[in-house]
Structure 1
């Protein structure tokens, strides 16, 4: 997957938030957070919840990184 969520975890670090804080304020599950940590696909509704909770835009949470393994 070419979507990376490292920006989300950078935001949490800057705000001195723990992952459990995000679970509580965004209303997501620990399983969903684990998927984000592994850069796996999540539903856009999850991104919406996180953006609402953190008062940010989707681009603040994730980045598209071109996968060099894929052929054009």
Structure 2
């Protein structure tokens, strides 16, 4: 099982925002934001910060996907 943040990137585009704007507003480190770009697991706290900033639900920014081995 893995995670995909495709929904996050689409939401950022739909809200006409830039990635750096989201990162700074949500107070997320550049290293953590890089993890998001690589579809790596981040803490629930990070996801909640993003949700609060974007005024959305967790399901709007992340989904669990089956990884092919």
Any runs of at least 4 consecutive aligned residues in structure 1 with deviations exceeding 6 A, and if so which? none
Q: Deviations over 1:7-49 (max 9, x none)?
A: 1000111111111110121110111111000001101100010
Question: Could you list the runs of 5+ residues in structure 1 that have no partner in the other structure?
Answer: none
Which one has the largest radius of gyration? 1
Partners in 2 of 1:5 and 1:64 — Cα distance? 9
Partners in 1 of 2:8 and 2:68 — Cα distance? 23
Partner secondary structure for residue 3 of structure 1: strand
- Give me the TM-score of the superposition, normalised by structure 2: 0.92
Provide the residue aligned with 1:31 in structure 2: 31
Number of equivalenced pairs? 69
Alignment RMSD, CA only? Answer: 1.1
- How far is 1:51 from its partner? 0.6
Provide the residue aligned with 1:43 in structure 2: 43
- How far is 1:68 from its partner? 2.7
